[in-house]
Structure 1
């Protein structure tokens, strides 16, 4: 039997993949995002991760790989679209590592632009 997934106006899933609770029946439902960019409701996070680190239930069922997560790894979703959320998270991580400025290149604008292109290439590859 095919299971219907509830979507909002942007086509984003608005239900918890673990307990199947959705925002339409429970408007106060708080969906948090994991480091592997899966949504889960706060109640399921509290239930699954009270004993300590555990695998992501969505990763485990989707791809056979296991991401071990902690309760503290989940954050409130900043953007409506998870793709945007993922890109911004990756950009934050890259900017923490690749944080050179134009001054670090002694004013060589071409070398600085090449560096920025390299960083963008890392983001999209």
Structure 2
């Protein structure tokens, strides 16, 4: 269950931050964003290591194709864990100082991610 929960966090966060699918696997993304899991389930203060992971993934973004690939990977995992509040997950980039040029939703069309 914990690994599946990671995937939901990753799905939303990765769609938000976009990252380089060519050099990162979904497993790496899950590991980086695991610290966000408690926050997206329960709210409260965003853990510093969660923001560190989001910022790291954002900095790793390289090309549109990379970001779209990761978006699709994470989107496929988004529905697998109950209890994740998508409103909290969607707010993570801004709370961590990352500005995105698109809005993250569970129904995002990853082909539109630039």
- TM-score band (shorter)? under 0.3
Greater gyration radius: 1
TM-score normalised by structure 2 residue count = 0.27
The TM-score with structure 1 as length reference comes to 0.25
Higher relative helix content: 2
Higher strand share: 1
